[in-house]
Structure 1
Amino acid sequence: MKLFKAGAAAAVSVVLALTATACGGSSDKASDSGASGGAKKDKIVIGIKFDQPGVGLKTPDGKFTGFDVDVATYVAKELGYTPEQIEFKQAVSAERENLIANGDVKFIAASYSINDKRKERVDFAGPYLLAHQDLLVRADDSSITKAEDLNSKKLCSVTGSTSAQNIKTKLAPKADLLQQGGYSECLTSLESKAVDALTTDNSILAGYAAQENNKGKFKLVGLNLSNENYGIGLKKGDKELQTKINAALKKMVADGAWEAAVKKNFGPADYKNEPAPQITEGS
């Protein structure tokens, strides 16, 4: 009898342990893109920028706005998730590959330019936007009209961005480069005259310049220093997810949602966008 009771107790313990594991299993990591049998997962974790007006911004009241947010929300819908099932996670430039590789996000839509170095660690879907590298300067500064004018001037960009390296290695090697954790910090430095220019994609710069509290303070120089094809970053080798995201992006363009998102997020800054690019990743 004692042996029977002990065995029964052990069996109950195993059942409880398994039940607890099942309940708490996958909440820490990014969800799969849909579940077998048609059932939906609890949530999907998506990496975006939190400090890029017009692109990816977390507002003081906790809402998320911007073109990348609209793209990510559309893609998530096509993967079977409602907006309420999306958890947005901050993806600073220097940490994007790590977030994907560690499984902290399912995918990243964060002004993430496709290049060969990044493709060594992650795969991309898309591209879904073609931007161009430009310069943002103070509105009263007429001394910078081309990239070469940055020689011996102070330039700001963010750690992990390809824009600053493009300037330093190809266009203005004598520029004094300051790298910050976010573009908002660079903007503060530009306003206080601690730096002379901020460089990144024109879509991002236009978003900052269009903010209500920045109107009249800054201007875009209007240069096309590089072509930046924004892609959606995902775990290397996940061809199934890549195919699904590419299909969602094509549908977003076809049904007009892509154009509507461009106008909503960039229109107020008089941003001249390129047409939706052709999908090339995974093809």
Structure 2
Amino acid sequence: MQLRKVTAASAAVLALALTATACGSDDKDDSSGSGGGKKISIGIKIDQPGIGLKTPDGKFTGFDVDVATYVAKELGYDAKDINFKETKSQDRETSIERGDVKFIAASYSINDERLQKVDFAGPYLLAHQDILVRADDTSIKSPEDLNNKKLCSVAGSTSAQNVHDKLAPKAQLQEYGGYSECLTGLENNAVDALTTDDSILAGYASQDANKGKFKLAGFQMTNENYGIGLKKGDADLKKKINDALTKMVSDGSWEKAVKANFGPAGYKNEPAPKIGNVVK
């Protein structure tokens, strides 16, 4: 009798353990990158119209979202297997290093400092740093006019610092948590200009609620090579993503995504960059 009780209890414990293991496995990324019904977590921005935006109904739209979805499909994942995670600029390297995401497609410019911590596939888009000002502002006609002006950018971004270091040393840098907050500050005269990539700024300026309020200055102050960030040393995943990006360009999907996301703003994009060709 005692033996039967112990055996039954052991069997129950084993069954619970197996059930827990089976349930938990569905939530983990497939480390092999082969899909097979498992999930993949991808870091994106959720507040950048035209790049990465979470709509009120919970959907994700934007060029980076389209690129990430295409790449994930080439890695073996259906759209329903993708778990998009908001990744703020200051958290991108940490999210990759911790394994919170498999890769990041979030207006993530390739630079030497970041390459010390993560690897990049791509680039897949060449953007340029610009500024957004109020539509009636005639005081800023060149980057040097930003001296003594309040220049907004987001925490973790290098955009405002680039302007301060190279073009307008007296610019008053203001760091906000997100571009939407910078935009509100610009509209309310709390700041004089918002700086980041022209692709991002064009997305904001083209929103229905913002039409006529803001304008792009047209300064091509830097080259921003958007890459897909991934864990340092993961050469296999890097090759697979690069192959996917190459295919996206060759089959016309890249151009289609550019027109769908940037076309309404009249954004004049650069041609698709060649893999590994980082424009300085």
Shorter-chain TM-score: which interval? over 0.9
Map 1:72-87; keep pairs closer than 5 Å. 72-87=68-83
Match in the other structure for 2:217: 221
Match in the other structure for 2:4: 5
Q: What are the Cα deviations for residues 90-128 of structure 1, in whole angstroms up to 9, with x where unaligned?
A: 011011111111111111100000111111111111000
Q: Percent identity?
A: 68
Counterpart check, 1:207 vs 2:206? no
Whichever residue aligns with residue 74 of structure 1, its letter is Y
Match in the other structure for 2:40: 44
In 2, distance between residues paired with 1:229 and 1:29? 30
Match in the other structure for 1:148: 144
Deviation at 1:208, TM superposition (A): 0.3
In 2, distance between residues paired with 1:232 and 1:275? 18
Whichever residue aligns with residue 100 of structure 2, its letter is D
CA contact (8 A) 1:29 1:105 kept: no
Match in the other structure for 2:49: 53
In 1, distance between residues paired with 2:167 and 2:139? 16
Match in the other structure for 2:268: 272
Q: What are the Cα deviations for residues 62-97 of structure 1, in whole angstroms up to 9, with x where unaligned?
A: 111100000001001101111111111101101111
Partner of 1:248, secondary structure, is helix
In 1, distance between residues paired with 2:226 and 2:165? 22
Counterpart check, 1:242 vs 2:241? no
Deviation at 1:22, TM superposition (A): 2.1
Q: What are the Cα deviations for residues 166-221 of structure 1, in whole angstroms up to 9, with x where unaligned?
A: 01211111111110110000000001111000000000000000001111110100
Partner of 1:125, secondary structure, is strand
Partner of 1:117, secondary structure, is helix
RMSD of the TM alignment (CA)? 1.6
CA contact (8 A) 1:29 1:103 kept: no
Whichever residue aligns with residue 162 of structure 1, its letter is T
Map 1:122-201; keep pairs closer than 5 Å. 122-201=118-197
Whichever residue aligns with residue 80 of structure 1, its letter is G
Q: TM-score, normalised by structure 1?
A: 0.93
Bigger CA drift: 145-154 or 250-259?
145-154
Partner of 2:112, secondary structure, is coil
In 2, distance between residues paired with 1:169 and 1:279? 29
Match in the other structure for 1:255: 251
In 2, distance between residues paired with 1:118 and 1:27? 31
Deviation at 1:29, TM superposition (A): 4.8
Deviation at 1:9, TM superposition (A): 4.1
In 2, distance between residues paired with 1:78 and 1:17? 36
Change (3 A) 1:96 1:29: farther
In 1, distance between residues paired with 2:4 and 2:165? 75
Counterpart check, 1:101 vs 2:97? yes
Match in the other structure for 2:112: 116
Change (3 A) 1:86 1:172: same
Structure 1: which 4+ aligned runs deviate by more than 6 Å?
none
Partner of 1:25, secondary structure, is helix
Deviation at 1:6, TM superposition (A): 5.7
In 2, distance between residues paired with 1:17 and 1:148? 67
Whichever residue aligns with residue 69 of structure 2, its letter is T
Whichever residue aligns with residue 5 of structure 1, its letter is R
Whichever residue aligns with residue 215 of structure 1, its letter is K
* Runs of 5+ consecutive residues of structure 1 not aligned to the other structure: none
Deviation at 1:28, TM superposition (A): 5.2
CA contact (8 A) 1:34 1:41 kept: no
